[in-house]
Amino acid sequence: MIVPVILSGGEGRRLWPLSSPDRPKQFLALAGEETLLQQTVRRLSDPALFAPPIVIGGSGQRFLIAEQLLEAALPVGRIVLEPKGRNTAPALAVGALLAMAADPDALILSAHADHSIPEVEAFCETVRRGLPAAESGRVVLFGMTPTIRPRATATSNRARRSIATCALSRGSSRSRAPRRRRRWSRLAACGTAASS
């Protein structure tokens, strides 16, 4: 089973004036009727593929997270609140450790709450295609093939809308890797940024 670790922190500075420290962009409905957080949790809610997600956010966002999940009737496995934001790596490490404590063989999927992926079935199918590699101990990366110049990528939404790229990196041999290294080699990262 894949345990999604949804990173929902942030300071709300990148999409000003729409977002603010009181309401970062993942709590806004920027790409549909639901907020980006609600869309992310819904996208990762197929019980045949995903375990209930772990949502990690700032302590100042605790009410926003709970309110939006309740409003959309979206279950989560756990909500973890950071007393102070420390960026992606520490938050993801906490999520991975919690998932591994519950299931030492868990596969972790890192998802950012401010990403918009409109083609949910294509996303889930891509995750399914990456499962054999992740189960064999490889890191699986999901993304989009850019169709524009890199300089324009941050400000343009002209990239192809289908999620079709699945790049695999060679992991350590399971027989030679210590157990801790094998656990971390199962980390999977995914997503594509919403236009901002």
**Domains of the chain, with CATH numbers?**
2-189 (3.90.550.10)
Helical segments of 53-189, H only: 62-71, 88-102, 120-135, 150-153, 179-185
Mean pLDDT value across residues 100-119? 91
pLDDT in tens, 21-38: 888 889 988 989 999 999
pLDDT value of residue 161: 41
pLDDT value of residue 42: 95
Q: pTM for the whole thing?
A: 0.74
Is it the case that residue 83 has pLDDT exceeding 90?
no
The residues pairing with 166 across neighbouring beta strands, listed in sequence order, are 142
Residue 124's nearest CA partner among 162, 153, 86 is 162
Report the distance separating Cα 57 and Cα 112, nearest Å: 11
Name 119's Cβ contacts closer than 8 Å, sequence gap at least 6: 161, 162, 163
pLDDT value of residue 149: 67
Query: Does 68 or 87 have the greater pLDDT score?
Result: 68
Cβ atoms < 10 Å from Cβ of 135:
12
Q: What would the two tokens of residue 54 be? A: 């772990």
